[in-house]
Structure 1
Amino acid sequence: MRIGDAERERALERLGRHVGDGRLDLAEFTARSERVAAARTAAELAVVESDLPRLPPPPDPDRDRRVRRAALAATWGPWAVTAVVVLTVWAAVALGGGGTYFWPIWVIGPWGALLALGALTGLPLAGPCGRARSRVHRVHAPS
């Protein structure tokens, strides 16, 4: 199967990573790069990299942002749902002629303050569902 410039560029990137990992020296990298540039088929590219281990995929730059966004939603989401529920209950009671004391502040205030403190300091004060995060150290029994 014939290849294009994109496949050659990816092969050159992989060779560069092998140089960075110490598997190829610069002379061998230069020779293999010339063979990659001259390659016309996928089989020719495979021969150039046949004796090298398969590399893991390069890091995804958007992954960290997606992880942070998911963690933010998992941390603040339950707080926001709770806030809407207690504010709705308070508003219904107040409109029905009940007391106007703003009691939801005692539900959403301290929890929101702890979440904000964790966000500002970077300390994981609580994980999803409010459980405190801790490191688990496993001790393996001798076999």
Structure 2
Amino acid sequence: MAKEVARREIESMRAADADRHTVAEQLKSALDEGRLSLAEYDERVRDVYAARTYADLMPLVADLPKPGQSAAEVKGRRADEVRREARRLPTALMVLWTIWGSVAAVNLAVWIIVATTVAGDLYPWPVWLLVPGAALAVTTVGVQTIRRRRRR
């Protein structure tokens, strides 16, 4: 909600001549790359120099990629973003892994301290943390597999 309020505030701000010139240059680049027809370019440039606020300027270039980017580059970046999002674990699993890692680290540290201060053999109780760790790993793999199938 804060982002939406900030965006509305920015859009309501008055645009400067330098802003209009920057948008006009981006439209010129799009014309040179063949993304706009001459008539569409003329119409948009007319609208650029008539714009008073950022809200008037932003829609004129919203459907254009940055100058110099090919369609393959734009498609590749979007595919990378989708793959990155697919690999990202859900928040609940990240919390569970963090808790498990913290508990495992504390148990291992305590066991090492006790093992170094006590004479004789000591039962390796931290090994039991592998059971919930394995269950969490299986759950993580299952969730990621389900998410991958849903995206296809």
Q: What range is the shorter-chain TM-score in?
A: 0.3 to 0.5
- Give the TM-score, by structure 1 length: 0.46
- Give the TM-score, by structure 2 length: 0.44
Q: Hey, which of these two has a bigger chunk of helix by percent? A: 2
